[in-house]
Structure 1
Amino acid sequence: MEISSEKMKSTQKVASKKGGVRTMPFIIANETFEKVASFGLIANMILYLINEYHMDTVTGFSVLFMWSAVSHFTPVIGAFLSDSYLDRFRMIAYGTAFTLLGLTLLWLTSVIPQARPPHCDPKKEKCLSPTTAQLGLLLSSFALMSIGAGGIRACSLAFGADQFNETDNLKKENILQSFFNWYYVSVGISIMLSVTVIVYIQDVAGWVVGFAVPVGLMLFSAVTFLLGTCLYIKVKANKSLFTGFAQVTMAAWKKKHLDLPPKISDGLYYHKGSNLTMPTDKIRYLNKACMIGNPMKDLDSNGMALDPWSLCTTTQVEELKALIKVIFIWSTGIMVAVTLNQQPISVLQASTMDRHIINKFKIPAASLGVFGILSMSVMAAVYDRIGVPLLSKFTKSGRGLSLKGRMGIGAALTCVATAVSAVVEGKRRSTAIREGFSNDPRAVVNMSAMWLVPQHCLQGIAEAFNAIGQIEFYYSQFPKSMSSIAIALFSLGMGVGNLIASLIVNVVDDVTKRGGNVSWVSKNLNMGHYDYYYWVLTILGVVNVFYYVLCSWAYGSEDDRVEGVKEEDVVPKSYNYPPDISI
C-alpha cells in the first residue's frame, strides 16, 4: 500500500511539472499564425488565379470552393484520427508540417517563372492556360494546406484544454473559461490581420513577398509549438464517437432479422456503464443494436459485451439517435454556407471600383471582408450583453431568443444580404457600361467600393445569428460525450456548402452561355450578369428559409434532449467553439 501510495504521489508530481498556463503561448501562437497564413491567402487568391494562372472566373471560383470544402472536411477526419489512433500533439505537429510545406510550394509558384503560365496582357493577346504540371503544383499546395488544417484546427482547442488537470472542478472551469476567451480573441485578431495586413502586403509588395510572409509566420509557428514539447500533457488516443456510431449501425444491421422485445423489457437491453437502462422509442430499429439476443454468446462472465460490433450500450444507441434527429436542421445550414462563401465575387467587384478612402490610401479589394468580421463580432457581443437580458423579459428564457429562432433569423438575413448584393452589382454594372467599359473588365468605374460594405455587414450579422446559433444548438441537444460532434457537424455543413456553391456557379455558367450568349458569371464582370446570379442565390435562400421553418416545426421542442442525460451533462454555453468565419 505504501509503495502504491508513493507511486501515485510520484506520478502526480511528474504531471504537475507539465501542462498549465505556461503552455498556452505555444498552443495559441500555433493556431493564430496558421489562421493568419491560411486566411490571408484565401481572401486574395481569386486574383492570383485569374491574373497569374489565367483562369476564367468559373474555374477560379470552383477551385476556391473545392479548396475551402476540403479544408472543412479534413478537420473531421483529423478529429477521428486524433481520438482513435494518434494523440492530439502529434496531429497538430503533423498538421503544422503539412501546412508549412503547402505554403512553401505556393510561394515557389510565385518565385519560379516556369511554375506558372507566362505573363500576358489579355487586352492584346490570348493568354496561355496552365500546363498539367503547373496546375498540379498549385493544387498540391492547396491539398497540403487542407491536410494541415485538418490536424491543427481539429485539435488545438482540445489540446489546450488537456493541459489543465486540476482536481478542483471549479478552479479548472475558471481556468478553461479564461483559456477559451483568449483563444477566441486570438482567432479574431488573426483573421483581422490576415484580411488587412497580409492582403495589403500582397497588393503593395507583390505575390512573392505576399506569399513569403505567411511562410515565415508558419515557420515561426512550427518552431514555437515544438519548443514547448517537453511541457505538454499528451493524452493518449482512445475510442472515437465515430467508431461508436459505426458499431451501432453494424450491430443493428446484424440483428435486422430479430424482433424487438416489448417496451417494458428493460432487462433485454445492454446498459453496462450506461445511465440508460432502456432505449427510447424513437427510431426503434436502432434499438436492436443494444438488444441482448443470447446472453451466453453476447456477454462474458463479467457481463461485458464480447463483441462491440454486435452489441452496443443503450447510451451509444441514443447518441446516434441524437445525431440523426438534428440532421434535417443541419441540412438547412448548407444553403446558408453557400451564400456566406461568395467572397471571391465581391473581391472581383471591389477590384473594379474606387477603393480610395483617405487621401491616396487605397484599401485592398480583399480587405473589405473585414467589415463582415467586425459586424459578426459586434453583433455577437451586443446580442450577448444587451439583447439577451432585454429579450429574456419577453421570452422568459435565459437565452433570449430560442436557438432555432436565432438560426432562422440568420437564414433570413442571408437572403437580404444576397438581395442587396444583387442591387449593388446591378448599379456597378450599369455604371461601367455607361462609362464605356463593357469590354474592359479591369477598368475602375466611378463608384465607391464602400457600396459593398452593407452586404458584408449583413453577411456578418447573419453569421452571428445562424453560425453561432447552429453550434450552440448542437451543443445544447447533445450530451457532453458528443461535444466534439457539434463542431464537426458545423464544419461538415460549411464543406458541403462550398461543394454546392461550386455546383451552382457551374450550372449557372452552363445554362446561361447556351446559344452563344455571354455567361452570367463571365470573366468580364461588365458583360456578365452577376446581379442575376445573386438573385438566383436569393431565391434559393428564400426556399431554404421555408424549408428551415418546416424542419424546425418537425423537430419539436429544443428541451427534448437524449433521455437520461442530465442538464449538467450538456456542454455549457461558455464552452462553445468559435465559428469558422467565412471571409
Structure 2
Amino acid sequence: MSPAINPEDPAAQPTSEKKGGWITIPFILATMVGLSLAFGGLFSNLEVYLIEVFNIKRISAAQITNLVCGFVSIIPVGAAILADSFFYCYTVIWISTLISSLGMLLLTMTAAFSKLRPPPCEIGSNICTEPNKVQLTVLYLSLALTVFGLGGNRFTLAPMGAYQLDKPKQQGSFFNWYIFVMYVCIILSSTVIVYLQNNVSWAWGFGISTAANALALLLFIVGNRFYRQLKPQGSPFAGLARVVIKAIRNRGIKLSQNPADYFQDQESKAPTLPTKFFRILNRAALKGTEGDAGLNGYITKSWRICTVREVEDFKGLIRLLPLWTSALFVSVPLAIQMSLGILQALTMDPYIGHNFKVPAASISVFLFIATCITIPLVDRIFIPMWNKYGPRPITPLQRVGIGHLVDILSMISSAVVEVKRLKIARMHNLQDQDNAVVPLSMFWLVPALAFAGIGEAFHFPGHLEFYHQEFPKHLKNTSTAVISLAIGIAFYLGNALIGVIERSTDWLPNNINKGRLDNVFWVITVIGGFNFCYFLVCASMYKYRPIEEEEVDDAIVVNKE
C-alpha cells in the first residue's frame, strides 16, 4: 500500500542484485523438507499422544489439536506483516525455525523423561492419573513454541523462494516443486514417523522431527550467502487501516465529482474518480486541509492521506468478503473430520493381515494421497476437457463449487461408516467397554478421506487462483495469508461446534461407542449444504475483476521515466 519508490533511493533497491537464481532453490526446498517432516511428525499424531501419554480425555484432545492447528494457520498472517513491515523474510524464517526447534526439543523431552508426563493408565482399568500443573505447563509451552515457529514459516518460505527467480514461468515451476515436495514429506511423516512413535517410542519419533527441524535451520542459514533479499516495503494492512481512519476523519467533507479533488497515486496515468460502490469510503481520498500534497498533487506524507487506488483496493476486499466467509465453512468439516476421524480409527481394527498394525493417525495420509493424485488429473485432464467441450472455460469459483459438493459427499460417507461402526458395536455389546475396538477395519474410513482429498484438490487451488486473480494488484502478496487465516478460523469454529454439541447433547461422550458420532457428521453435512447454497448465491452475484493486459506483481515498484 506504500507509494511508488524512487529508483534513486538506495533503500528501495535489493541488497544483492547479483544474488538469487536456481542455486538458492535446493536450500529453500531442503529447509521446507525439514520443516514439513517436523510439522507432520507432530500434528499427525498429536491427538493420539495427548490421549495415550498425557491421559487427556478424547474429546478434549480433539479440541486441543484443533486449537493448535488453528494457531498454525493464523500465525502466518502476523509473520507476513512482520516480514513486509520490519524485517527481511530471511530474518523471520530463521528466527521462526529456531523457535520451532526449541519447541520440538521440549516436546521430545516430555516423551523421553517420565517426570514430565503422568504415569500410564493401569492395564485393564479406566483409572488414569491426570497430568499435574508442571507437566501441563511444559506440554503447553512446547506446543506454543512449536506452533509459533512453524506458523511463522508456513507462508513466508515460499514467497522468499519466488523472490530468488526472475521470470514468472520459473516462479511457477518453483511453486509446483514446492507443493509436490511438501505433500510428499507430509505423507512420509504421517506414515514412517507416526509408525515409529506408536511402535518404537514417542521419544524417537519426536526426536527425528526435532532433528529434521534443526537440520532445516542449519541448511537455511548455510544458503544465506546466495539469497537475494529484499528490503521491507511496509505492510499493506497499514494502508487498509489508513482508509478507515481517513474516511472517519473526513466524514464532514462533501464528496466531489472532480477527480482533481482526490489524491491520486503516482502510478495513475490520469486523475480518476473513486467508484460509487461503498461511497462512504471515498471521503478517505479527498484532499482536506492537511497540506501534504506535493506540487503534482501526489503524496508526500503517506500516513496522513489516502489515494484513490488505496480506497479502491479496500473496496475490492469488501467485495470478496462474502465469498471469503463461505470459505470458512468449507474448512470446518475438514477440521472436524480430521480430529473426530482419528477417534473413530482408535476404536476400529487397525491391522493389515495378522501382524502389521497401522497407527490410527496414519489414516489421514489417504487424504493427502488423494489430493496429490487428483491435482495433476484436474490440471492435465479435467480442466482441458472442460475447456474444450464445455460452454465456456472453467472459472476458479466453479472449481471451488465442485470442491464444496465433494466435501459434502465426504461427510455423508463419514456418517454412513459411523452408523455401521455403532451397529457392530451394539451387536457385540461393546458400549459399556471404554472405547473398545470394534471388529471393523479402519480402512472403511478411506472413502471419506479420499472424498475430502479430492474436494481439497478442487477448492484449495481454486481459492488460491481466485484470490490471487481478484485481489488488488498491490495486495496480491497477502492473498495466501488470507486463505491461511480462513483455515485457522475454521479450526476454531469446528472447536466451538464440538463444544456446543458436547454440552447440549449426549452424542460425544468420552466413550464414543456409547455416543452418536454419526449425528455429528449429519449435522455438519446439513451445515455444509446450507453453506453451499450460500456460496452459490455469493458466486452468482460476484463480478470478476477485469484482467489487465499486463500486471507487475513485484515486491518493489520502480518508476522508469
Equivalent in the alignment of 1:566: 548
CA distance in 2, matches of 1:283, 1:13: 41
What is the deviation of 1:14?
Answer: 6.6
What residue in structure 2 maps to residue 580 of structure 1?
Answer: none
Note if contact 1:248-1:309 (Cα within 8 Å) is conserved in structure 2. no
Match 2:198 to one of 195, 199, 203: 203
Q: Give the Cα–Cα distance (whole angstroms) in 1 for the partners of residues 265 and 15 of structure 2.
A: 34
Q: Could you tell me which residue of structure 1 aligns to residue 45 of structure 2? A: 44
Distance 2:125 2:373 in 1: 47
Pairing partner for 1:427 from 405, 420, 437: 420
Q: Which has the higher contact order (CA 8 A, sep 6+)?
A: 2
TM-score by length of 2: 0.92
**2:383 pairs with 1:388:** yes
Q: Relative to 1, partners in 2 of residues 1:571 and 1:230: Cα closer, same or farther, differing over 3 Å?
A: closer
The answer for the alignment partner of 2:321 in structure 1 is 327
> Are 2:480 and 1:480 equivalent residues in the alignment?
no
- Give 4+ residue runs of structure 1 displaced > 4 Å after superposition: 11-14
CA–CA separation in structure 2 for the residues paired with 1:65 and 1:227: 35
Structure 1 segment 446-525 matched on structure 2, within 5 A: 446-512=439-505, 519-525=506-512
* Match runs of 1:337-416 below 5 Å: 337-341=331-335, 342-357=337-352, 360-397=355-392, 400-416=393-409
The equivalent of 2:267 in structure 1 is: 274
Mapped to 2, the partners of 1:184 and 1:53 lie a distance apart of: 34
The AA in structure 1 aligned to 2:318 is I
Deviation of 1:354 after TM superposition, in Å, equals 2.0
Q: CA deviation at 1:306?
A: 4.4
2:29 aligned residue: 28
Contact 2:80 2:156 in 1 (8 A): yes
Q: Of 200, 212, 227, which aligns to 2:222?
A: 227
Q: CA deviation at 1:498?
A: 0.5
Give the secondary structure class of the aligned counterpart of 1:258.
coil
Choose which of 511, 535, 541 in structure 2 pairs with 1:554: 541
Counterpart residue type for residue 310 of structure 1: R
Candidates 433, 437, 444, aligned match of 2:430: 437
Q: Deviations over 1:279-324 (max 9, x none)?
A: 2111111111111124x72314464434433311111111111111
Query: How many angstroms does 1:116 deviate by?
Result: 1.7
The one-letter code of the counterpart of 1:121 is E
Deviations 1:383-431 (A, max 9, x none): 111111211134444xx42222221221222222111101101111221
Q: 1:568 is paired with a residue of what secondary structure?
A: coil
CA offset digits 1:41-62 (Å, max 9, x no partner): 1111111111122211221122
Q: Distance in 2 between matches of 1:459 and 1:158?
A: 27
Counterpart of 2:309? Answer: 315
Counterpart residue type for residue 511 of structure 2: N
Could you tell me how far apart the structure 1 residues matched to 2:96 and 2:14 are? Answer: 30
Q: Is the 8 A contact 2:15 2:229 kept in 1?
A: no
- The question of 1:536 aligning with 2:528 is answered no
1:120 corresponds to? 121
Name the counterpart of 1:577.
Answer: none
1:240 paired residue number:
235
User: What is the aligned-residue identity percentage?
Assistant: 33
- What are the ranges of 5 or more consecutive residues in structure 1 without an aligned counterpart? 1-7, 167-171, 513-518, 573-583
User: How far 1:257 moved relative to its partner?
Assistant: 1.4
3-state SS of 1:447 partner:
strand
The letter for the 2-side match of 1:346 is G
Partners of 1:491 and 1:49 in 2: how far apart?
25
- The answer on whether the counterparts of 1:289 and 1:310 sit within 8 Å (CA) in structure 2 is no
Moved more, 118-127 or 39-48: 118-127
Q: What stretches of structure 2 of length at least 5 have no aligned partner?
A: 1-9, 555-561
Deviation at 1:359, TM superposition (A): 5.6
Whole-angstrom distance in 2 between the partners of 1:12 and 1:149:
27
Residue 352 of structure 2 aligns to a residue in which SS? strand
Q: TM-score scaled to structure 1, two decimals?
A: 0.88
Asked if the contact 1:95/1:151 (under 8 Å) is kept, the reply is yes
3-state DSSP class of the match of 1:305?
Answer: coil
Rate the CA distance shift 1:368–1:451 in 2: closer, same or farther, 3 A. Answer: same
Structure 1's 235 and 14: CA in aligned 2 closer, same or farther, altered over 3 A?
closer
Q: CA RMSD in A?
A: 2.2
Whether the 8 Å CA contact 2:74–2:151 is kept in 1: the answer is yes
